Each structure stands twice: as C-alpha cells, then as structure tokens.
C-alpha cells in the first residue's frame, strides 16, 4: 500500500493523496486502508517517512562508506544527483512537498521539515568534516556551502524536470566541482 501511495504522491503530490484514492488503487475498501493508516494525514506522513527511508538507503548510507571529509561530501552530492535523475520522470517528494506545504502549517509540513532538516544536517556535518580534515579552507562557511549545494540540486531538478533541458546532470556536477574548488584549501 505504501509503495502505491508513494508512487502516486511522487507524480501527483502529497496533498491529493487520500484514503479513498489509495483504496481505489489497491482495490480495497476505504475501511481497510483506514485501519492501516488511521487518517489521511497519517497516510501522508507515512509517505514522507517512506520516501526519507529510501532516500537514506540510496543517498546517505552508500556515502558513509567513503572517508570523512571531501570524499564523503562528494559521494553525498553524487548520490543525490543520481537519485534526482531517477526521479525526473516522477518527481521528488522533498521538492514537491516543499512547494505544496511551504505555507500550509500542520503535521505533514512538520514531517517534511524535520526530514529535510536531517538531510541538510548530514550535508552540514560532511562539510564541517571536510574543513576539519583540511580538504576545504579553514575559513569555509559550511552553512553557506550547504546552501549552494542545495541550490545546485534544485536547479538540476527545475531544469531537467520542468524545462526538460539536456545536459543538466553534467552541469550540476560541473557546478559542484567549481564550488568545491572555490572552497578548497591549499592542502586539499
């Protein structure tokens, strides 16, 4: 059920996901779906959490196999870009959710903010470690670096999914390389 809800939400958005819609897609009764999730809001939060778990498995965990510092930050970025390229045809729950819930308070927005915050925290730690390891200059502002890295991925998603431009993945990687070079220490 959660796979079907996740797939639908990725293409159509989280807000439109309902117990009735999922019941119809699963050829189940509404009460059967309701018994599993409890409410529409609980279903939507479960979708956000399932997306996060998959994101962690695809992007974060493989990067943790790399040495601390710049190699890990580079792996996080490369894995994220790869994930975005796989999502171009359907959409990203984090990015789509940000658009849907940017001004809509409530538990779904809170779940999105929490999980995106966890991801940004991982990027921040990797950036800080790259400075600590001497891969990036000591005066590097890790928060600014994360802001710029996130901007590259948002641009990739926008240009590849919305504008349907070619070469966006290469541009994202080139932008990241240029960004890292601008922060690199003489020892890095």
Per CATH, the number for 48-183 is 1.10.357.10
User: What CA dihedral angle connects 105, 111, 114 and 119, to 10 degrees?
Assistant: -130
Residue by residue, DSSP assigns 5-18 as HHHHHHHH-STT--
Among 140, 175, 136, which residue's Cα sits nearest to residue 154? 175
Q: In whole angstroms, what separates CA 187 from the centre of its chain?
A: 31
Count the neighbouring beta carbons within 10 Å of the beta carbon of residue 2: 16
Count the neighbouring beta carbons within 10 Å of the beta carbon of residue 72: 22
Per-residue pLDDT of the chain (188 residues; tens, 9 = 90+): 899 999 889 888 899 898 888 988 888 888 888 888 989 999 999 999 999 999 999 999 999 999 999 999 999 999 999 999 999 888 889 999 999 999 999 999 999 999 999 999 999 999 999 999 999 999 999 999 999 999 999 999 999 999 999 999 999 999 999 999 999 977 65
Identify the pLDDT of residue 34.
84
Q: What is the pTM of this model?
A: 0.92
3-class SS of residue 64: coil
């Amino acid at each position: 059920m959660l796979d079907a809800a996740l797939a639908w939400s990725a293409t159509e958005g989280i807000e439109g996901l309902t117990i009735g819609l999922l019941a119809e897609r699963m050829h189940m009764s509404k009460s059967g779906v309701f018994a599993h999730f409890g409410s529409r809001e609980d279903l939507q939060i479960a979708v956000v959490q399932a997306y996060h778990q998959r994101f962690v498995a695809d992007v974060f965990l493989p990067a943790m196999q790399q040495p601390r510092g710049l190699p890990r930050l580079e792996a996080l970025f490369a894995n994220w870009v790869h994930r975005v390229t796989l999502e171009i045809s359907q959409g990203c729950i984090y990015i789509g959710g940000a658009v849907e819930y940017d001004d809509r308070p409530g538990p779904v927005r809170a779940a999105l903010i929490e999980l995106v915050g966890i991801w940004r925290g991982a990027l921040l730690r990797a950036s800080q470690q790259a400075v600590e390891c001497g891969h990036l200059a000591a005066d590097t502002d890790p928060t600014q670096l994360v802001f710029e890295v996130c901007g590259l991925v948002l641009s990739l998603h926008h240009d590849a999914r919305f504008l349907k431009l070619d070469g966006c993945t290469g541009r994202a990687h080139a932008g990241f390389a240029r960004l890292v070079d601008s922060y690199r220490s003489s020892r890095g």
